[in-house]
Structure 1
Amino acid sequence: MPLYIFFSLKLLVLTLANRTSLVAQMIKWTHSLRYHYLDLSEPGPNLPKFLAVGYVDDQPFIRYDSRMDKAEPQAPWISSKNATYWEDETKKQRKWAEIHQVETWIEMGYHNHSSGIHSTQRMFGCEIQEDGHSNSFWQFGYDGQDHLSLDMETLNWVTANPMALWTKRWWQTERCYAEYDKAYLEGPCLTSLHRYLELGGQTFTRREPPTVRVTKHLAQDGGTTLRCWALGFYPRDISLSWWLGEKKLNSKLEYVETRPSGDGTYQTWMAVWVPAGNETQYTCHVQHSSLNHTLTLSWEMPSHPGLMTIVISLILILLVIGGVVSLIKCLQGSGQSGKNQKSIQD
């Protein structure tokens, strides 16, 4: 092989490797452990008094239902934990059920709610990023609305509405509440997350590429909205962007946050408004850790099956007309032949 060809091939391999590495660096993974608690003032139809669900990367792995009064596995990888683990988790959730019951009664008093079904919710969790950084959150709600959240830096309770001031004053009298929550989220929570990720193995280290498509929708102002869909990917972190030529667009965009699909993968979309007739000039760029390159897709004008249907229908009509004309001529011919034959007989 000539030397210049060898170096050209080597340069091409290095370029492709650098591009793959660049995409991987831009999209870094994030893993999370979250718990959602729900307490009702009284059980509803087919609803428990208290419900707790734990999630790793938005996938449920543990559930406690006060009607069953025990913690149960929700994912195959956690089922291997021994009986002691499940006994401890059951005791922990029973304690949380007692705490929430008291909180629900107190919140009902603050809101002058003496009857009816009311609820308190608690959501907290931690996450780790590929670069080693970690984050955590803690939120409390009443009747499905945000109520309080914990500022991890100052350990202050942040109110979401005026009524939450009553709860804030109550919890501020015991600073140990905030200190305990922060200590748990920055310590045992992260330890548990690492342990669960190791236990889950391939479930959380796999890479599933997104299925991407672009759809067109008419806008009320006469323009067009192009929507770029990314479906069925894992892990959660993904980047979608719209481009016009070499320019990345930052306005006239609409998007939703990445959400679970219900099958262990994620989905999301991003839309852009474009002038009618210019749809093919816009491209959607998708970056994900499962891809070794940036996926680029544009809207394609669909084929027109309706036009083909019209053509086929016209052909069928012409054939029918032709058949009718031939039949008439044939009948006319038969009639004339009969007359001639009768004349000869006469």
Structure 2
Amino acid sequence: MWLRSSGSAQHPRPPPPPSLLRLLLLLSGLVQKGAAESPWGLPLVADGPASMAKVVMAELANLKLENKSWPRVCVSTGTHSLRYHYLDLSELDPSLPKFQAVGYVDDQPFIRYDSRVDKAEPQAPWIMPMNAKYWEKETKKQKKWAELHQVETWQMMGYHNHSSGMHSTHRMFGCEIQEDGHSNSFWQFGYDGQDHVSLDMETLSWVSANPVALLTKRRMETEHCYAEYNKAYLEGPCLASLRRYLELGGQRFTRREPPTVRVTKHSAQDGGTTLRCWALGFYPQDITLSWWLGEKKLNSKLEYVEARPSGDGTYQTWMAVWVPAGDETQYTCHVQHCSLNHTLTVSWEMPSHPRLTAVVISLILILLVIGGGVSLTKCLQARNKEPYEQPPG
């Protein structure tokens, strides 16, 4: 979105935005075609109400996007997501691009734009067959996003009274399809690594994360079409694009890889013990971990992290529970995943004592050395007792 810079003209004013009506009509076309594309950046109208845009958005809302028949692809393997991350820096850095954008399907990057390279490039083999027109259009879009983020960065610096130094703005948005067919979406904007504003998709209202963000919230609320545009993209073309990308990726996104599960023991500060159940290397992302004491499922004294990418196309997570010292073997971790045909049950196993193991190994080595020495001595003694024979000659 275009945001006007505060104060005197420290930074140049943004160029006049392209026709908002034209961009919204483009979005309407994407909805009807079900094309696989990223969104156009929506410029902020500098003056006056965007009455024409409101009319188009009203028509777009009437398409009932949630009932639209999008290209079908099997999503029975769990939840799948499409999301984009944009990052802009206020100053040039030799080691970083001024602006970068990355698109992810199921947390795996598939497209990237770098302001130093100045073009959108494939990051996954399954997206490479897309034709030249696709890459040209994606490059054009990301260049526009770079312009938008530059103005937003200046705006945020003005809000925070930052006249210089390295600062950044970041935008994250995306959609997901769950195994039961339901869908979710999100939109977030931040400054210097901290949340700034987000869009509540249910109420179509902007949520400020701090007092300074109220300035952005009020500006965004001046035109309802901004929220409506984002919602329309995320609940329409975003889902259509995700389904298309899942089709292109094929087995990469429909495969099932079972988790490797183990339980580790850690000393707690209060004298008790923490048992941590690890699930590693699984796909897809959806997984359920739980701790049990006998036949009772535990709901307290638990700690866990959401499933996160492992960096190799799989996911990892863990869940920990506090237990009294000495009772560790009575607790079991239950793991459920679509790759498993039953609930996997794992408990902590007491390892062999390391000192005892070292002593046993040392004794074995000593016995081997002694035995070898005895054998060598007997061999030499036997050789010395043999009669000496003069070689013929």
Task: Name the TM tier (shorter chain).
Answer: 0.7 to 0.9
Does the 8 A contact of 1:28 with 1:129 survive in 2? no
User: Match of 1:331?
Assistant: none
User: Match of 1:17?
Assistant: none
Aligned-CA RMSD value: 2.0
Picking from 156, 161, 169, the partner of 2:218 is: 169
Give the C-alpha shift of residue 309 in structure 1.
Answer: 2.5
Picking from 28, 34, 37, the partner of 2:83 is: 34
Does the 8 A contact of 1:48 with 1:67 survive in 2? yes
User: Match of 1:16?
Assistant: none
How far apart in 1 are the matches of 2:196 and 2:105? 25
Which amino acid in structure 2 is aligned with residue 256 of structure 1? V
User: Match of 1:56?
Assistant: 105
How far apart in 1 are the matches of 2:270 and 2:108? 40
Q: How do 1:249-328 and structure 2 match up within 5 A?
A: 249-313=298-362
Does the 8 A contact of 1:62 with 1:72 survive in 2? yes
How far apart in 2 are the matches of 1:91 and 1:286? 45
1:243 maps onto 2:310 in alignment = no
User: Match of 1:335?
Assistant: none
1:104 maps onto 2:153 in alignment = yes
SS at match of 2:165: coil
Which amino acid in structure 2 is aligned with residue 198 of structure 1? E
SS at match of 1:258: strand
Question: Residue deviations 1:50-87, cap 9 Å, x none?
Answer: 00000000000000000000000000000111110000
How far apart in 1 are the matches of 2:360 and 2:104? 56
Picking from 54, 71, 90, the partner of 2:120 is: 71
Which amino acid in structure 1 is aligned with residue 110 of structure 2? F
1:126 maps onto 2:175 in alignment = yes
Does the 8 A contact of 2:198 with 2:207 survive in 1? yes
Q: How do 1:125-204 and structure 2 match up within 5 A?
A: 125-204=174-253
User: Match of 1:12?
Assistant: none
Does the 8 A contact of 1:232 with 1:267 survive in 2? yes
Which amino acid in structure 1 is aligned with residue 109 of structure 2? P
Which amino acid in structure 2 is aligned with residue 141 of structure 1? G
Instruction: Give the direction of change, closer, same or farther, for the CA distance of 1:311–1:131 in structure 2 (3 Å limit).
Output: closer
How far apart in 2 are the matches of 1:319 and 1:42? 69
Off by >6 Å, runs of 4+ in structure 1:
315-321
SS at match of 1:207: coil
Which amino acid in structure 2 is aligned with residue 244 of structure 1? L
Which amino acid in structure 1 is aligned with residue 155 of structure 2? I
SS at match of 1:92: helix
Give the C-alpha shift of residue 171 in structure 1.
Answer: 1.3
More helix by share: 1
Give the C-alpha shift of residue 174 in structure 1.
Answer: 2.1
Does the 8 A contact of 1:34 with 1:123 survive in 2? yes
How far apart in 2 are the matches of 1:316 and 1:57? 52
Give the C-alpha shift of residue 312 in structure 1.
Answer: 5.0
How far apart in 1 are the matches of 2:89 and 2:364? 68
SS at match of 1:125: strand
Question: Residue deviations 1:226-262, cap 9 Å, x none?
Answer: 1100000000000000000000001111111110000
Range that drifts further, 166-175 or 225-234: 166-175
How far apart in 1 are the matches of 2:337 and 2:214? 43
Question: Residue deviations 1:264-308, cap 9 Å, x none?
Answer: 000000011111111110000000000000000000111234213
Which amino acid in structure 1 is aligned with residue 105 of structure 2? V
How far apart in 1 are the matches of 2:180 and 2:308? 23
Give the C-alpha shift of residue 319 in structure 1.
Answer: 10
Question: Residue deviations 1:92-122, cap 9 Å, x none?
Answer: 1011111111111111111111000111100
Instruction: Give the direction of change, closer, same or farther, for the CA distance of 1:305–1:133 in structure 2 (3 Å limit).
Output: same
Which amino acid in structure 1 is aligned with residue 237 of structure 2? P
SS at match of 1:241: strand
How far apart in 1 are the matches of 2:180 and 2:321? 32
| Structure 1: tracts of 5 or more residues without a match | 1-26, 322-346
Which amino acid in structure 2 is aligned with residue 246 of structure 1? E
How far apart in 2 are the matches of 1:207 and 1:311? 43
> How many residues are aligned here?
298
User: Match of 2:261?
Assistant: 212
